[in-house]
Amino acid sequence: MKNYLDEIGWNEQGLVPAIAQDVGTGKVLMLAWMNRDALNLTVQEKRAVYWSRSRGKLWFKGVRLVWPNSIGKTKP
């Protein structure tokens, strides 16, 4: 059985763009990047986890600002 993560079109750095949108208006709030671990954690925890290219580590959005990106739904 194939894992959904194997179906993602990862770039040569192992990343995929992730667009955060307002669930009510559809307005684009931000563009970030996810690696395999970030996407897997996002699906498991139902909150956005991104890959920080500048820091080289996972970025749990809203941890310091208490303004997390909760997940309404995901689309390929």
pTM listed for this prediction: 0.76
Q: Tokens in use for 33?
A: 């990047």
Which phi and psi (to 5°) does residue 7 adopt?
A: -90, -10
Query: Left (φ > 0), alpha (ψ -120 to 50) or beta: where does 51 sit?
Result: beta
| Residue that has been written with the tokens 């194939």 in this structure | 2
| pLDDT score of 54 more than 90 | yes
pLDDT band at 47 (very low <50, low <70, confident <90, very high): confident
| pLDDT score of 28 more than 80 | yes
Taking residues 54-59, report their average pLDDT: 95
Give the domains, in start order, of the chain with CATH numbers.
Answer: 15-76 (3.10.20.810)
